[in-house]
Chains A and B, each alone.
Chain A
């Protein structure tokens, strides 16, 4: 009887000791790994150039989670630029651009934010990869220096607002559009009725205005005359080599050339660090794909732009 009680005590002691050992091991692992995180800033000093990606279609909606399509979200990119502005280590920023364009508003927002970097004497360089066209070129033009591969696509300085008109198809199946509006042009651009000539003229006027803004921005950013940019701004895409000839691109090359430019300008060795959008708490925990709305061309007015109707993009 006494032996079995002694055995029980010994077993309990052994169990408690096992428990303590496991807790100690976990505590040591946590402490060591946490030490690495607490010192993580120290391991990341020594950089002086940020690299910010502008990839995918440019949108003014915040980006999504792990499984969402790649878009260049202006709130996210502006947030990243703000981070860079607050980092005293950063003397230059390379914008790695691979985008066909997108929202005029979003493109302008990002371009303005890049100019605020220039105002703080932070050198900015656009490094165009496959495509830096339309709104993406608007963004690139706001940097101090544009580097593109000879085969990169640049330019496409124009505005598009084309859409599919469903009126004919609806008519075929006896589906009618009941027009109830106050304000003659309230539903201009809806795909459910034909575009009248007056409406078309109105739309075209707005497109032309946005086009003028685009031209003005590029002319100002690139130090070119309005006339010379207007000649290039027929929506045509240019290869990087052509862009070099017509003034839209400063240098042919890639990342190395971008870095060399910065090193010459700042007379220092460049050490880069990638900056990107931080995940929100929910994105970090769940990694759930969030909805991305692709808003384009909000320059006219949200009231004229329906979900399935007229969309204006640069």
Chain B
């Protein structure tokens, strides 16, 4: 069975993860957004020079992005898959390590596109284009990781779960 995961499965897994991030990470910050962005549509908030973002809100956005990065990194490292990937039955493996489970640095590198500041936001444009042409993300290539089907012949049954303990975070 070809273990290359198609674009749409990856996209849906990502959307599920974004929904979870909304609940777990962004929802606690709703007070900040209500305070500074109430009455402003999403489209308006992206129009340059029109909407002023107070310093507090700027830092909140920054911290949310760091937590989102930790979300993807921890799940890829400890479980080899985020909840979204788990539901879509796909997972992440290392192409360099013998046991194919990814280390923390690889997990961090493959997910650094989440950060919304220079130079990381460049990947918002690079990744979809690279994925369209090469069926893998650019960051996956440089982090030597790969997204595969859980049940593909090569990876079926392999358990990449590491124990999650707070003192190891």
- A-to-B contact residues, CB < 8 Å: 11, 14-15, 18-19, 21-23, 25-27, 29-31, 33-35, 37-38, 40, 62, 79, 278-288
Contact = CB atoms under 8 A, between A and B. Distances in A.
Contacts of B58: 278-279, 284
A15 B164 CA distance: 10
B55 A278 contact: yes
Contacts of B14: none
Interface string B76-119: 00110001001000000000000000000000000000001110
A282 B117 CA distance: 10
Given A25-B166, A79-B52, 5 more contacts: A15-B86, A26-B71, A26-B74, A281-B46, A286-B116
A288 B116 CA distance: 12
Nearest to A31: B28
Nearest to B86: A19
B161 A280 contact: no
Interface size range on B against A: 35 or more
Interface string B125-169: 000000000000000000000000000000000010101101001
B46 A30 contact: no
B23 to A, nearest CB: 8
A281 B45 contact: yes
A284 B53 contact: yes
Contacts of B19: none
A286 B121 contact: yes
Contact of A26 (B53, B55, B70, B121): B70
Interface string B47-63: 11111111111111101
A11 B166 CA distance: 20
7 contacts: A14-B161, A22-B71, A37-B31, A79-B52, A280-B49, A284-B53, A285-B121
B16 interface: no
Nearest to B51: A281
Most buried by B among A15, A22, A279: A22
A267 B36 CA distance: 35
A282 B86 contact: no
Contacts of A19: 75, 79, 83, 86
A30 B75 CA distance: 17
B67 A29 contact: yes
A287 B118 contact: yes
